[in-house]
A and B are shown apart, each in its own frame.
Chain A
C-alpha cells in the first residue's frame, strides 16, 4: 500500500527552465511534508519542508506548493541548473502525533540539460 504517490519517475528540463515534481497522499493524519534531494552515491538530504497550515513555502529557487483539500503537494525548481540534477523524494509523516517515521514517495530522477 503506497501512501505517497510521486510523479513523474524521471524528468528532463532545460537549463533555466522550471522543474515540477508532484506528490499525492492518502492519509489525512499526515502533517509534515518534506522533500529530500539525493545525489549519486550519497544519502538523501533534506531540501525543504512544509506543514499544512500554509499553502506555499519558498526557499531560494525551491518552492513547495501544498493543496490540503486535494491532498497534493509539489516541488517547483525555478531557473533549473545542471547542479540540480539529482533524485528527489517527497515524504510525509505524522510529526504532531509523535510519529517521526517518514513515508517516502518512489522518487523522481531529474536531469537538467544545458
Chain B
C-alpha cells in the first residue's frame, strides 16, 4: 500500500533549467494537488486536478505547469527554474466523497535552484 509517491526526493537545478516532478497515487482518487512549502508560509496550492485530463490553477501557479494524462499520475513542470522556486514540493490526493474529506500527502521533493 504505497499511497502517494513522489519522485525525485531531492534535486538541485541551475537557474533556467527545466524539470518535471512526478506524483503517483494508488488509491484511485479523483482529486490531486501540488503544493509548495516555504518557511513561515505554510502550504500553498500551486495547481490541482479534479479528474483525468483536467487541471486548474491554485494560489501560486506562475512558473509552473501541470498535466494529468492518467488518473493515477499528476506531473508538475518547471520550464525555466528560478531561485524563488527553491522549496519543498508536496503532492496530495483525495477522493470526491465529501464525507471523507482527507488529503493524503507524499513525502515531498526538496528542490534547490542555484
Interface residues of chain A, those whose CB is within 8 Å of chain B, are 6, 9, 32, 34, 41-46, 49, 89, 93, 95-96, 98, 100-102, 104-107
Q: How many residues of B contact A (CB 8 A)?
A: 25
B4 at the binding interface (Cβ < 8 Å): yes
Please pick, from A9, A98, A102, the residue contacting B103 in the complex, using a CB distance under 8 A.
A102
**A43 and B106 within 8 A (CB):** yes
Residues of A within 8 A of B42 (CB): 6, 89, 104-107
Which among A9, A43, A89, A98 is the interface contact of B98 at CB below 8 angstroms?
A: A98
**Which label, helix, strand, loop or mixed, suits the secondary structure of the B interface?**
strand
Q: Does B31 contact A (CB under 8 A)?
A: yes
Mask, B12-52, CB within 8 Å of A = 1, is 00000000000000000001010000001111110010100
Contacts of B45 in A (CB 8 A): 101-102
Report whether A34 and B40 are in contact in the complex, using a CB–CB cutoff of 8 Å.
no
